[in-house]
Amino acid sequence: MANLWKMSQHGTKKRKLDRSTEDYMYFDSYSDVTIHEEMIADTVRTNTYRMGIFKNSKSIEGKVVLDVGAGTGVLSLFCAQAGARKVYAVEASSIADQAVRIVKLNQMEDTIEVIKATLETIELAEQVDVIVSEWMGYALLHESMLNSVIFARDKWLKPGGLILPSRADLYIAPINDLVVEGRLNFWSTVKAQYGVDMSCMTDFARKCIMNKDITVNPVTVEDVLSHPCKFAELDLNTVTLEQVRDVRGVFSCQCFGSSSIHAFCVWFTVTFPSEEKALVLSTSPFKPETHWKQAVLYLDDAVDVMQDTKVEGEISLYPSEENTRHICIHVDYSIGEQKKHSKTFSIPDQYLEVK
C-alpha cells in the first residue's frame, strides 16, 4: 500500500507533527479513488494476494479473518471466496463506505463486516485465526502500517494463527542512471546550441537532482550494477514494534563491469506461506513493475567503477522525527578504495493527489 507525493521545498524548517495530525493526513490520502485504482490495477500485487489467499484456503475455510487496512475490501472478498466464516474488514478512511457497497454488491454482507475505525481502537467479538493485510509502503516501511499489523497480531490473533504475507525481505544494489547523467551533461551542450556557455550550471544541477530525497522510480535491469544484496528480513510472526523502528543491515557486492554508480536502489519482497512452494510478491527491478517501483537513493557524486569493484556498507531504515509515518534511510558506504561516505535520505512530505 503506497501513496504518491509532491516534492518538498528544500531548506525550510520542518515542524514535528502530532500523532493525530499524522494519522489524519495518512487516512485522508486514502479517501480518494486514485490510489485505490492504482493498487487494484497493479496486477502483480492484486493477483499475488489473490493466489496467496487461495493457496492457504485450507487455513481460511470456516475460520475468522481480520483484514487490516481493508481499503475497498478486495482482500476481504478474496478471503470470503476462499471460504472464511467471518471477515472483519477494518478501514479507517472514508473509502470504508465504498467497501460496504462493494461487499453488498458481491452479496457477501453476511460474511464480511466492514468496521470504519482505526485498528487500535476497535473491539472484536472474538479472536481471529488469520490476519491479512497489504501494509507495505515505499521502501517497505513508509507509512508505518506494519505497526498496526503487529498490534493486531498481539491482540487478536490466536496462538499459531496465520499471517498473510508472513515474511518481508529488503534488498539493495548500486545502479547507474543514464537519465541523470544526460541531465547533468546537458548544461555542457548549451554553448554549441545557442552560443552561450552554461556549463557552470552542472554543479547546481547535481545538487538539485542528486539530493537527499528518497526518489521512487522504476529502475531497469540494465542499470543494476551488481547482484541484489539482502540486508534485512522481517518475520511477521515474531517481529516487534521496537525492531521495526530501526531496521538495519550490512551489504557487500561486486560490480558487474565498467560503469558509474549514481545511486543505490532499494526494494522488497513479501512471502506467502504455502504447503507447496511459497509465493513471493517481488518489487525487484528484475521482475515485472509494480506500483511500488523502487526507492532510489542518489549519491552526492557519481563514482566510476570497474569489474569486481567492491561496494559495501550499512543501511538503516527508521521513522522521520517530523512525521513518524514517513521513513528515513541512512547509508554508510564505501566504493572501491574510496573512504567511507554517509548520507541520510527522507521522503518528501507533501502528498500529490491526482484527481
Active centre residues (catalytic): 134, 143
Between helix 201-209 and helix 178-186 the angle, nearest 10°, is: 150
What are the strands, taking DSSP E only, across the chain? 5-6, 64-68, 86-90, 112-115, 128-132, 157-164, 167-175, 215-217, 229-235, 247-254, 259-272, 279-282, 294-305, 310-319, 327-335, 341-346, 350-351
Q: What is the DSSP letter of 139?
A: T
CB 331 within 8 A of CB 295: no
Q: What is the DSSP letter of 322?
A: S
- Spell out a b/e string for 43-60, using b for 16 or more CB atoms within 10 Å of the CB, else e: ebbbebbbebbbbbeebb
CB 281 within 8 A of CB 44: yes
Grid coordinates of 297? 537513493
